[in-house]
Amino acid sequence: MSYNNHYNHSHNLDSYNGRRHAHRVTSPLLIKIQKACSLSLREPDLSLNLQIADLINETQGSYPRDACMTLVKLINCRDIHTSLFAIALLDVIVKNCGYPVHLQISRKEFLNELVKRFPDQPPIRYSNVIKLILTAIEEWYQTFAKHGDYKKDMGYIRDMHRLLKFKGYSFPRIDSKDLAVLRPHKQLK
pLDDT (tens digit, 9 = 90+) per residue, 125-175?
999 999 999 999 999 998 888 877 788 888 899 999 999 999 999 999 987
Say which range, 3-17, 28-42, 115-129, 162-176, has the weakest mean pLDDT: 3-17
CA distance 178 to 26: 36
Task: Decide: 58 and 32 in contact? Cβ < 8 Å.
Answer: no
Q: What is the pLDDT of residue 60?
A: 76
What's residue 187's pLDDT?
Answer: 40
Report how far Cα 19 is from the mean position of its chain's Cα atoms: 20
pLDDT of residue 126: 94
Q: What is the pTM of this model?
A: 0.81
Beta-bridge partner residues of 20: 13
Separation between Cα atoms, residue 114 and residue 73, nearest integer Å: 8
Residues in the chain, overall count: 189
Mean pLDDT of the chain: 83
Radius of gyration of the chain (CA): 16
The DSSP letter of residue 165 is H
List the one residue out of 3, 22, 2 whose CA is nearest residue 13.
22
Q: What is the pLDDT of residue 8?
A: 40
**Residue 20 backbone phi and psi in degrees, to 5:** -80, 145
pLDDT computed for residue 149 by the predictor: 79
- The pLDDT-based confidence of 16 (bands split at 50, 70, 90) is very low
To the nearest whole percent, how much of the chain has pLDDT over 90?
65
> Whose CA is closest to 66, among 9, 14, 12, 137?
14
